[in-house]
Amino acid sequence: MPIHRHVRDGTQGESVSASVDDKLKITRRLVAFGVDFVEAGWPGSNPKDAAFFTRAKTDLTHAERDKLVAFGSTRRKRVRANEDPQVQALLESQAPTVCIVAKAHAWQVTEILRATLDENLDMIRDTVACLVAHGRVVMVDLEHALDGYATDPDYVHACCRAAVDGGASVLVACDTNGGTMPWRVGTVVRELVDTYGPQGVTIGMHAHNDCGMAVANSLTAAQYGAGLIQGTVNGIGERTGNADLCAIVPSLALHVQAQLHCRASLATLTSLSRFVDEVLNQTPNHAAPFVGSSAFAHKGGLHVAAMERSPLSYQHIEPELVGNEQRILISELSGRQNILGKMQQAGVDLGTSGSDRAVAILNRVKTLEAQGYTFEGAEASVHLMILHATKGYCPPFQVLDYSAQVYDANIDSATRVLRHTESPDTDPTDSKKPRKAPGFGPTARATVNVRTMRPIEDGLESYLANLSPYQDRLEVSDGNGPVDALANALMRALQPVHPILQHVELVDYKVRILDAENATGATTRVMIEFRNNSDGDQETWTTVSVDTNVISASLNALVDGFEYALIEHGESCMLCHLDDM
Per-residue pLDDT tens listing for the chain (581 residues): 666 665 666 566 666 888 899 999 999 999 999 999 999 999 988 899 999 999 999 999 999 999 999 999 999 999 999 999 999 999 999 999 999 999 999 999 999 999 999 999 999 999 999 999 999 999 999 999 999 999 999 999 999 999 999 999 999 999 999 999 999 999 999 999 999 999 999 999 999 999 999 999 999 999 999 999 999 999 999 999 999 999 999 999 999 988 898 988 999 999 999 889 888 888 889 899 999 988 998 776 566 667 667 777 788 999 999 999 887 766 555 555 565 665 566 555 555 555 666 677 667 766 776 766 666 667 787 777 777 777 777 888 999 999 998 875 555 544 444 444 444 444 444 544 444 444 456 689 999 999 987 655 555 555 556 556 778 999 999 999 899 999 999 999 999 889 889 999 998 898 888 777 777 777 888 889 999 887 655 778 888 888 888 999 999 999 999 999 998 877 544 444 333 33
- Strand runs (DSSP E) across 123-196, as ranges? 137-143, 170-175
> In this structure, is residue 234 part of a structural domain?
yes
Full residue range of the structural domain in which residue 342 is found: 297-371
> In this structure, is residue 420 part of a structural domain?
yes
Among residues 419, 404, 400, the alpha carbon closest in space to that of 488 is found at: 404
Q: Are residues 192 and 62 in the same domain?
A: yes
Model-level pTM greater than 0.95?
Answer: no
List CB contacts of 552: < 8 A, sequence separation 6 or more: 545
Q: Are residues 537 and 429 in the same domain?
A: yes
Contact 20, 55 (CB under 8 A): yes
Total domains, the chain: 3
Q: Are residues 338 and 204 in the same domain?
A: no
> In this structure, is residue 288 part of a structural domain?
no
How far apart are the C-alpha atoms of 48 and 22, rounded to whole Å? 11
How far apart are the C-alpha atoms of 341 and 367, rounded to whole Å? 20
Q: Are residues 53 and 140 in the same domain?
A: yes
Q: What count of other Cβ atoms lies within 10 Å of the Cβ of residue 289?
A: 18
List the CATH number of the domain containing 267. Answer: 3.20.20.70
How far apart are the C-alpha atoms of 234 and 510, rounded to whole Å? 25
Q: Are residues 339 and 243 in the same domain?
A: no
Among residues 249, 210, 237, 293, the alpha carbon closest in space to that of 1 is found at: 249
3-state secondary structure 418-438: CCECCCCCEECCEEEEECCCC
Q: Are residues 88 and 181 in the same domain?
A: yes
